Amino acid sequence: MNPFTEALQLLLSGDPYVMAIVVRSLAISGSALLLATIIGLPIGAWIGLSNFRLRVPAIAIVNTGLALPPVVAGLAVYLLLSRSGPLGNLELLFTPVAMGIAQVALAGPYIAAVTLAALEGLPTDIGLQAKGLGATRLQAAVLQLREVRTSLVAAIAAGFGAIISEVGAAMIVGGNILGETRVMTTTIVLETRRGNFGVAIALGVVLLVVALLVNVVLTGLGARTRRPIMS
Amino acid sequence: MMTSVLTLQGLKYKAGGRVILDIPDFAVDANGILAILGPNGAGKSTLLRVLAGLSRPPEGTLQVSSGGKTSRGDEAVETLRLRSAFVFQNPYLWSGSVRRNLELGLRFRRLNATEIGRRVNAIVEQLGLGAVLERDAGTLSGGEAQRVALARALVLDPEVLFLDEPSSNLDAEAHAALREDLDRVARARAGAIILATHDRPDAFYLADRIAVLREGRVVQTGTPAELFENPVDPFIASITGAELSFRGTVTSTDRELLTIDIAGTEVLAVGRASIGDAVKVAYRPEDLFLSAEAPAGGSARNRFKVRVSEVRSLGALVRIRLAGPADLVAIVTRAAAAELEIAENSEIWVQVKATALHAFKV
């Protein structure tokens, strides 16, 4: 059968093997994204809104995280979770949790860096302006984050796109175990090697749709720009 | 005696080794408008932020008297937080509608929806903002945005309203409208108003008291009339419009009335100096009275015959440069210049009161 026809059939019939992989991919990456947001957003906000002695090195570290290659993140998590590693006794290697940790390591710095950059783009005295109306420090911080919410949503969407399409770390720490850690990207690699192009193409299409949805979100947010300050 | 709502003691503020503020005592009356007047870089904005508790000086104590209680330091800052409002030079309008901006400070004060609606409606009516109330704040013009920023502060009915150069980015029309809003609405809704400005007409038009700031120090504080009539130095004289001056030597004194020799001509002026002191005599061009004939009578004790060296139109006014015992500049209306038939190289009489000439030792 033509692999394209086969891919179409797999998708339209809701093939259990393909659907399980899609659901697992979305679950792992979705959970990782949630955790990366919970960790990355406050860190970016804290660095962006505070003035402390080591702020510049902190910004440099967060920005370095942006350039972290997925395979290096995977290697670091592997070494951390391997039997002889510091967290080896947890026996998390080759589990969805290990994959999630690697994806958090990739998406967290990205979300933190974009949050930080977005806040730095606001006028320098904006926090004081909020306090000048009676805001507490927390209320002023929330108000500023609300001002950059478009950038934050864009960062989260882009982070999701990056981790769900990543293959290096997923392969290293997940091991591509059937029914457990096999996700879309690792399956595409495997099925392509096996010559099962239909499955590979079907999952590729799903990944493309995910990428398309992410871009639709980003484009929609980009169109909602506004003039933020009087001049 | 007027009570002070804010006092600052022993304020010293340095940045990069430079003294930004050095003010031993500073008090703000509980009512009325206090203008902090000074040139750019004098420290006005920093002083305003310190007074508002938005900036912590390394030395100095802020004291707030509100509701029969007096608080200092952190407690004073917390007291001010919900009883004051600050309008910045470049006010940031938060994303969303004008209404959301007006409601923001009221929400920080945890007022209920009914009270928020009542107050917003009142300020919208007072400042005529009905047409822009539901508009996105980001689409407003500079003048509209500044009015919204003022409304956002006034809707809080603050005990202390801080205004940092509120008119600096406005065109002439919006500036005039804002000045009226401050005089009419802000006076009615706010307790004490502290206006930091470099705009002399704004300060003299609006303020009940003026504190003149120069290089981080308060040079003189008083009512506009006090500053106008008794400037303590050439800087204050300049701030009050006596921007022009000539030099001479004191030949005799009678308390603060000085006789000054200007190139062989005696001039009477007020000031503090001793015989033999070299002095600078400051005056306002509008205080020179011109006449075609030698003046007879009148209270002006200085009278000279001078030659018109230059005539420049300023629109409704005419600026006339005069060569006499000193180079002088007078400003008269266009009609007065025509009536006096003023032309270059014509001769004319000048009268000026001794009290309009302020002498300072140099």
- CA B293, B298, B304, B308 dihedral sign is negative
B49 in contact with A at a CB cutoff of 8 Å? yes
Q: How many Å lie between the alpha carbon of A230 and the closest alpha carbon of chain B?
A: 6
SS3 at position A205: helix
Q: How many Å lie between the alpha carbon of A31 and the closest alpha carbon of chain B?
A: 31
Interface test with A, best of B45, B89, B93, B95 (most A CBs within 10 A): B95
- Residue of chain B whose alpha carbon sits nearest to that of A126: B92
- What pTM did the predictor assign? 0.82
CB within 8 Å of B110: residues ≥ 6 apart: none
The per-residue pLDDT for A226 is 45
The Cα B295–Cα B165 span in angstroms is 44
The per-residue pLDDT for B89 is 92
A128 in contact with B at a CB cutoff of 8 Å? yes
- Residue of chain B whose alpha carbon sits nearest to that of A149: B95
**Closest in B90, B95, B104 to A133, CB measured:** B104
Interface of A with B in 139-168 (CB under 8 A): 139, 143, 146-147
The per-residue pLDDT for A227 is 44
Do residue A134 and residue B145 have CB atoms under 8 angstroms apart? no
Task: Report residues of chain A scoring pLDDT below 50.
Answer: 226-231
- Residue of chain A whose alpha carbon sits nearest to that of B88: A129
The per-residue pLDDT for A228 is 42
Do residue B49 and residue A128 have CB atoms under 8 angstroms apart? yes
Q: How many Å lie between the alpha carbon of B332 and the closest alpha carbon of chain A?
A: 37
- Residue of chain A whose alpha carbon sits nearest to that of B104: A133
Q: Which of A32, A230, A110, A127 is nearest to B138 (CA)?
A: A230
Burial class (CB in 10 A: 0-12, 13-18, 19+), B18: exposed
Q: How many Å lie between the alpha carbon of A141 and the closest alpha carbon of chain B?
A: 13
- Residue of chain B whose alpha carbon sits nearest to that of A143: B94
Across the A:B interface, residue pairs with CB atoms under 8 Å apart total 75
The per-residue pLDDT for A222 is 60
Given the DSSP bridges, would you call strands B4-15 and B278-283 parallel, antiparallel or unpaired?
unpaired
The per-residue pLDDT for A224 is 59
Interface test with B, best of A125, A131, A133, A231 (most B CBs within 10 A): A133
The per-residue pLDDT for A223 is 59
What distance separates the 2 farthest-apart alpha carbons in chain B? 76
Q: What is the mean pLDDT of each run of 10 residues along chain B (362 residues)?
A: 86 88 95 94 94 92 91 92 94 95 96 96 94 94 91 96 91 89 91 94 93 95 91 87 86 93 93 93 91 82 92 92 91 92 93 92 88
CA distances to A29, A53, A60, A71 from A63, in Å: 22, 18, 5, 18
Interface of A with B in 164-183 (CB under 8 A): none
Q: How many Å lie between the alpha carbon of B276 and the closest alpha carbon of chain A?
A: 53
Given the DSSP bridges, would you call strands B278-283 and B358-361 parallel, antiparallel or unpaired?
antiparallel
Complex ipTM: 0.80
**Closest in B54, B139, B140 to A128, CB measured:** B54
**Closest in B85, B136, B142 to A133, CB measured:** B85
Do residue B94 and residue A147 have CB atoms under 8 angstroms apart? yes
Q: How many Å lie between the alpha carbon of A224 and the closest alpha carbon of chain B?
A: 11
The per-residue pLDDT for B2 is 65
CB atoms within 10 A of CB B116: 19
The per-residue pLDDT for B1 is 55
The Cα A181–Cα B271 span in angstroms is 92
Do residue B82 and residue A123 have CB atoms under 8 angstroms apart? no
Do residue A230 and residue B54 have CB atoms under 8 angstroms apart? no
Q: Which two tokens stand for residue A200?
A: 């590979």
The per-residue pLDDT for B260 is 96
The Cα B216–Cα B271 span in angstroms is 25
Q: How many Å lie between the alpha carbon of B259 and the closest alpha carbon of chain A?
A: 52
SS3 annotation, chain B: CCCEEEEEEEEEEEECCEEEEEEEEEEEECCEEEEEECCCCCCHHHHHHHHCCCCCCCEEEEEEEECCEEEEHHHHHHHHHCCEEEECCCCCCCCCEHHHHHHHHHHHCCCCHHHHHHHHHHHHHHHCCHHHCCCEHHHCCHHHHHHHHHHHHHCCCCCEEEEECCCCCCCHHHHHHHHHHHHHHHHHHCCEEEEEECCHHHHHHHCCEEEEEECCEEEEEECHHHHHHCCCCHHHHHHCCCCEEEEEEEEEEECCEEEEEECCEEEEEEECCCCCCEEEEEECHHHCEEECCCCCCCCCCEEEEEEEEEEEECCCEEEEEEECCCEEEEEEEHHHHHHCCCCCCCEEEEEECHHHCEEEEC
The per-residue pLDDT for B228 is 86
Do residue A133 and residue B82 have CB atoms under 8 angstroms apart? no
User: What are the strands of the beta sheet with B69-72, ordered from one edge?
Assistant: B18-29, B4-15, B59-66, B69-72
Do residue B142 and residue A230 have CB atoms under 8 angstroms apart? yes
